[in-house]
Amino acid sequence: MPIVVGLCTLDLVIPEANSLKDKRSVVKSMLEGMRSKFNVSAAEVDNNDIWRRATVGVACVSNSRQFADQVLQKVVDWVENNPRAYVSGVEMEFL
């Protein structure tokens, strides 16, 4: 049985963040939502000390590339519909 790992990197802009505390509140809420709604692993992976920017990594493990792609696309759609952050870039890869 093949093992497929889908990886997604989201570059986010958080316009309402006026401090790291504001930013971390938004990012933490988004990460928890991703984990609970889509059963993925998610973490802030870059731009940790920039108030209005965040880079989030999301991983999905499956036995089907199609399923992993669907799950990650649903995560991207969910984040894009979040009014507290704007998606400025998305990268996906499958291993």
CATH number, span 4-94: 3.30.70.1120
- Cross-strand partners of 53: 13
pTM listed for this prediction:
0.91
Q: What is d(CA 93, CA 95) in angstroms, rounded to the nearest whole number? A: 7
pLDDT, tens only, 42-79: 999 998 889 999 999 999 999 999 999 999 999 999 99
pLDDT at position 48, please? 83
Could you tell me the residue ranges of all domains in the chain? 4-94
